[in-house]
A and B are shown apart, each in its own frame.
Chain A
Amino acid sequence: MLEGSLRSNLFLSAPALVLTLLLVSLTGVLSPSFLTEANLANIAVRLLPLGLVALGQAIVLFAGRIDLSVGTIMSLSTAIMALTSVSLGWFSLPLTILAGIACGLFTAAGVIVLRINPLVMSLATAAIVKGVTLLVLPSPGGEVDYALYELFFESESPFAAPLLICLLAYLILALVMGWSRLGRSIYAFGSDAKAAFANGVSGARIDITVYAVAGGLAALAGIFLSIRILSGDPLIGEPYTLDSVSAAILGGVALQGGRGHVFGVLAAALALVLVNNMFNLLSLDTNLQAIAKGLIFVAALVFFMRKKQGEA
């Protein structure tokens, strides 16, 4: 089963797994309230949005691209939910996901048709999406149907809907990336776009796929965020952009594309949530969290860059 490049990609996930285990034991020792059921359930709830958005970011990175608009797509999604969930009910969910996919397609269109550098194009999308969000919802507010909250967040067990949804998303994409021709093409395109083209891969199709997936998953992340806070917030998604890239890199995904596995990304997303949780439990200044996250990002980049040079 685990033959081929899948094996080397899983191997890249190992450092993130080790880090997560270390953090779990460290936090467990430092804070007695860590291992309570309520705190673990809280961690699962916080893992859900970051896990989903980081998963989408990882798919984009596998293709050697990057999407810096995912945070603003999350904000937009909370706004759409806050404005429509009471009137439209369940229909607001697919509507929001479609909006997220549309944002991703917009980025892909800029990359394919206008031949704009993907990183820069996703920044442009971010600016536009942010503007649209602030137009429809200038300040935090609106209302999300409480029935949705009851459905997803009522349980106090750590092994409830949030964790299961997150795991399901990762399982599906692990299958697609590891065992499907599409996944192989995405890795190949990120590994060497010219070689992939020579072997019949359509670059445009890859761009459309990965940006649509990232947009859709960011929207899904935004949906759960809005259900949890029962309202919309035009700026709430912003920090998730860096966090999503951070989780992917820390999870062993190469910034140059072509390597890494989604399970590493899940472990790394959990590690980032744990760091957050640790700061809260130890009542440290929240501004220190931002600094710590930035340093973790740099450390992850350096760690995996070193490793790559060592291999070459």
Chain B
Amino acid sequence: MNTTQGGTEHPLLVVSDVSKVFGRNPVLRGVSFTLERGEVLALVGENGAGKSTLMNIISGGLSFDEGSMTLDGRDYHPDRPVDAIRQGVAIAHQETAVMPDLTVAENIYFRREPVNALGLVRQARMHADCSALLKELGFAIDPRRLGRDLSAAERQLVEIARAIQLRPKLLILDEPTASLSVQAAEIILGLMARLKALGTSVIFISHRMGEIIDAADRAVVLKDGELTLEAKRGAFDRDDLIHAMVGRKLTNIFPARPASLANAATAFELRAAGNSALAPMSFAVRRGEILGISGLEGQGQRPLAGALCGAQPFTAGEVMIEGKAVRLPSPAAAIAAGIASIPDDRKHDSLALSLPIRMNMSLFAISDKARFGFLPLVAERDFGAAARRRFSIRSTDLEQPVGELSGGNQQKVVFARWLTHVPKLLVLYEPTKGVDVQSKSEIYHLIGELVEKGVAVVVISSDLIELIGLSDRILTLYEGKISGEVARPDFSEERIMALAAGPETAIGELVHA
């Protein structure tokens, strides 16, 4: 249906040499690729490789610094999301753009509501239309529910429904399946195939190798802002993708793990510990063990990280450190008990971006060197210089504001702050989010050094490659409960994803049978 004269001469979208710099950090370096009509393109890359930036540029949410784009053969330079929508490009964000105080129907038809002759919205008609649309798409969501009451997976489906309702020429799906069970994800993959048959082009971001290989006509891989692979279906496999994402063999990136930790003493244990967001859960971590926590998005990872560091305390059960019961009512108590915790949002939760590296490192870290409440500048400088060497932080000097560093180097500053004293338990929440591959490997080896010293580590991450490479054991979370456990010899993406999807009975609740 898009075969009007002249319309088929050009590819739908051509991206040429697009570059983007945030502050001093290049996030996209000369990226070029083309997308044909009715083609499904998978955009692959690790967290922080520049995928979301690139999609935001194409959908008008961000501007680019260099390069050019054409859509349908014409120069394409959207300044705002509306410009992109007008030209037929729609994006389904990763659950961020659902408005909490509007209903599902009001969200999906936002600014395109059916109106009567007086310009007033026909509420009943709109909600009925929405029911029909959701049914056709195969999503089981009540259109009358408010955005704030939806789960992460439901918000994701609302986003997708809204983008499809725009009837775009190009549909961009930002990790559409990250919060979905395998079964719900299949509905999305089926939808992509239906849209493709109608001549719509689709770009989707995914971390799931299986669905990329099954659904994509073409794969584009980004690594640290550069395009490292562009290949058509059949011309790439799983190993090619991972190699292009990581740039070297996986075994070199992760620290070696011992065959067995059975003799190590238990460092940390939860006994039926829970709170309003977490069902009572029990697990133990041995000294020198790395325990990975996996799960679909929003299944209790954030509350668990918060409870372990004392920010959203456990209200029931027991916490044991080295065999002694402790209480973690506040972050201060958790620190005193020997728990170091690195949050996922370093920009808001752990760094003062406008202050120099020196001051960011010394916060809390060397308070024992304070004299009469003042930190001697010499002590601060010595500490900073030593930490900068040890963690190989790349910066002009210690006085550079942290906000000017790359994501990886920012994260190393956070590590430096927390690791002056060897903790008993280290809790990491998305430790390499927005971090380049080189720094990632350095961070993994830092974690390796710590476990050799006997530190117990809990890694909560959405990156399965990271969890599989790093962990000795992986637990899966589903709706705030532990839904499964896998030991290192049995690790596989499929196994972990199946456990993360929860018990059989819960599967398919989101979608019509």
Which of A175, A179, A190, A197 is within 8 Å of B81, CB to CB? Answer: A197
Please name the residue on chain B nearest to A187 by beta carbon: B101
Which of A1, A6, A192 is within 8 Å of B99, CB to CB? Answer: A192
Cβ proximity bits B65-99 to A, threshold 8 Å, 1 near / 0 not: 00000000000000011100100000001001111
Indicate if the CB atoms of A180 and B102 lie closer than 8 Å. no
- Asked if A184 is an interface residue, CB under 8 A from chain B, the answer is yes
Indicate if the CB atoms of B121 and A180 lie closer than 8 Å. yes
- Asked if A281 is an interface residue, CB under 8 A from chain B, the answer is no
CA distance A174 to B81 in the complex (A): 29
Task: List, in ascending order, chain A residues with CB within 8 A of B97's CB.
Answer: 192, 194-195, 198-199
Give residues 174-210 of A contacting B (CB, 8 Å).
Answer: 175, 179-181, 184-185, 187-188, 190-192, 194-202
Q: Contacts A187-B101, A194-B96 given: A179-B120 contact, CB under 8 Å?
A: yes
Task: List, in ascending order, chain A residues with CB within 8 A of B146's CB.
Answer: 5, 8
Cβ proximity bits A253-265 to B, threshold 8 Å, 1 near / 0 not: 0000011000000
CA distance A175 to B121 in the complex (A): 10
- Distance in angstroms from A244 CB to nearest chain B CB is 22
Can you list 24 A-B contacts (CB < 8 A)? A3-B127, A4-B105, A4-B106, A4-B127, A4-B144, A5-B146, A6-B123, A8-B146, A180-B119, A180-B120, A181-B113, A181-B119, A184-B110, A184-B113, A187-B99, A188-B101, A191-B99, A191-B101, A192-B97, A194-B96, A198-B61, A199-B97, A199-B111, A258-B101
Give residues 1-53 of A contacting B (CB, 8 Å).
Answer: 1-6, 8
Please name the residue on chain A nearest to B93 by beta carbon: A198
Other A-B pairs, 7, CB within 8 Å; known A1-B123, A199-B81: A4-B105, A4-B127, A191-B102, A192-B98, A195-B98, A199-B162, A201-B111
Which of B82, B110, B115, B120 is within 8 Å of A188, CB to CB? Answer: B110
Indicate if the CB atoms of B82 and A5 lie closer than 8 Å. no
- Asked if B235 is an interface residue, CB under 8 A from chain A, the answer is no
CA distance A259 to B148 in the complex (A): 12
Please name the residue on chain A nearest to B85 by beta carbon: A200
CA distance A190 to B99 in the complex (A): 9
Cβ proximity bits B101-119 to A, threshold 8 Å, 1 near / 0 not: 1110110001101010001
CA distance A188 to B82 in the complex (A): 16
CA distance A281 to B120 in the complex (A): 44
User: In this complex, which of A3, A8, A190 has the most chain B Cβ atoms within 10 angstroms of its Cβ?
Assistant: A3
Task: List, in ascending order, chain B residues with CB within 8 A of A201's CB.
Answer: 111
- Distance in angstroms from B237 CB to nearest chain A CB is 35
Indicate if the CB atoms of B81 and A198 lie closer than 8 Å. yes
Indicate if the CB atoms of B96 and A195 lie closer than 8 Å. yes
CA distance A181 to B96 in the complex (A): 21
Task: List, in ascending order, chain B residues with CB within 8 A of A187's CB.
Answer: 99, 101-102
Indicate if the CB atoms of B101 and A200 lie closer than 8 Å. no
Give residues 234-272 of A contacting B (CB, 8 Å).
Answer: 258-259
Please name the residue on chain B nearest to A200 by beta carbon: B82
Which of B80, B93, B120, B123 is within 8 Å of A4, CB to CB? Answer: B123
Task: List, in ascending order, chain B residues with CB within 8 A of A6's CB.
Answer: 123
CA distance A258 to B100 in the complex (A): 8
Q: Contacts A192-B100, A195-B97 given: A3-B110 contact, CB under 8 Å?
A: no
CA distance A202 to B81 in the complex (A): 10
CA distance A192 to B102 in the complex (A): 10
Indicate if the CB atoms of B101 and A5 lie closer than 8 Å. yes
Which of A1, A5, A198 is within 8 Å of B102, CB to CB? Answer: A5
Q: A-contacting residues of B (Cβ < 8 Å)?
A: 61, 80-82, 85, 93, 96-103, 105-106, 110-111, 113, 115, 119-121, 123-124, 126-127, 144, 146-147, 162
CA distance A191 to B121 in the complex (A): 19
CA distance A200 to B61 in the complex (A): 10
Task: List, in ascending order, chain B residues with CB within 8 A of A192's CB.
Answer: 97-100
- Distance in angstroms from B146 CB to nearest chain A CB is 6
Q: B-contacting residues of A (Cβ < 8 Å)?
A: 1-6, 8, 175, 179-181, 184-185, 187-188, 190-192, 194-202, 258-259
CA distance A2 to B93 in the complex (A): 30
CA distance A191 to B120 in the complex (A): 21
Task: List, in ascending order, chain B residues with CB within 8 A of A179's CB.
Answer: 120-121, 123
Task: List, in ascending order, chain B residues with CB within 8 A of A8's CB.
Answer: 101, 146
Q: Contacts A180-B119, A181-B115, A201-B111 given: A4-B103 contact, CB under 8 Å?
A: yes
- Distance in angstroms from A37 CB to nearest chain B CB is 37
CA distance A47 to B102 in the complex (A): 31
Indicate if the CB atoms of B120 and A3 lie closer than 8 Å. no
- Distance in angstroms from A86 CB to nearest chain B CB is 40
CA distance A6 to B103 in the complex (A): 9
CA distance A259 to B80 in the complex (A): 26
Task: List, in ascending order, chain A residues with CB within 8 A of B144's CB.
Answer: 3-4
- Distance in angstroms from A2 CB to nearest chain B CB is 8
Task: List, in ascending order, chain B residues with CB within 8 A of A197's CB.
Answer: 81
Task: List, in ascending order, chain B residues with CB within 8 A of A181's CB.
Answer: 111, 113, 115, 119, 121
CA distance A174 to B376 in the complex (A): 62
User: In this complex, which of A191, A196, A202 has the most chain B Cβ atoms within 10 angstroms of its Cβ?
Assistant: A191
Indicate if the CB atoms of A199 and B110 lie closer than 8 Å. yes
Task: List, in ascending order, chain A residues with CB within 8 A of B113's CB.
Answer: 181, 184
Task: List, in ascending order, chain A residues with CB within 8 A of B80's CB.
Answer: 200, 202
Please name the residue on chain B nearest to A2 by beta carbon: B123
User: In this complex, which of B82, B101, B115, B146 has the most chain A Cβ atoms within 10 angstroms of its Cβ?
Assistant: B101
Task: List, in ascending order, chain A residues with CB within 8 A of B126's CB.
Answer: 3-4
Which of A3, A191, A200, A258 is within 8 Å of B111, CB to CB? Answer: A200
CA distance A66 to B347 in the complex (A): 28
Indicate if the CB atoms of A195 and B120 lie closer than 8 Å. no
CA distance A258 to B147 in the complex (A): 12
Indicate if the CB atoms of B96 and A198 lie closer than 8 Å. yes
- Distance in angstroms from B91 CB to nearest chain A CB is 8
- Distance in angstroms from B376 CB to nearest chain A CB is 38
Task: List, in ascending order, chain A residues with CB within 8 A of B121's CB.
Answer: 179-181, 184
Please name the residue on chain A nearest to B124 by beta carbon: A3
Please give me the 4 A-B residue pairs with the lowest Cβ-Cβ distance, nearest first. Answer: A191-B101, A258-B101, A179-B120, A200-B82
- Distance in angstroms from A186 CB to nearest chain B CB is 11
Please name the residue on chain A nearest to B95 by beta carbon: A195
- Distance in angstroms from A257 CB to nearest chain B CB is 8
Task: List, in ascending order, chain B residues with CB within 8 A of A258's CB.
Answer: 99-101
User: In this complex, which of A1, A184, A185, A190 has the most chain B Cβ atoms within 10 angstroms of its Cβ?
Assistant: A184
- Distance in angstroms from B111 CB to nearest chain A CB is 6
CA distance A135 to B103 in the complex (A): 49
Task: List, in ascending order, chain A residues with CB within 8 A of B85's CB.
Answer: 200
Indicate if the CB atoms of A196 and B123 lie closer than 8 Å. no
Task: List, in ascending order, chain B residues with CB within 8 A of A175's CB.
Answer: 120
Task: List, in ascending order, chain B residues with CB within 8 A of A202's CB.
Answer: 80, 82
CA distance A202 to B99 in the complex (A): 15
User: In this complex, which of B99, B110, B113, B146 has the most chain A Cβ atoms within 10 angstroms of its Cβ?
Assistant: B99
Task: List, in ascending order, chain A residues with CB within 8 A of B111's CB.
Answer: 181, 184-185, 199-201
Task: List, in ascending order, chain A residues with CB within 8 A of B99's CB.
Answer: 187-188, 191-192, 195-196, 199, 258
Task: List, in ascending order, chain B residues with CB within 8 A of A3's CB.
Answer: 103, 123-124, 126-127, 144
- Distance in angstroms from A197 CB to nearest chain B CB is 7
- Distance in angstroms from B422 CB to nearest chain A CB is 38
Task: List, in ascending order, chain A residues with CB within 8 A of B162's CB.
Answer: 199
Indicate if the CB atoms of A188 and B102 lie closer than 8 Å. yes
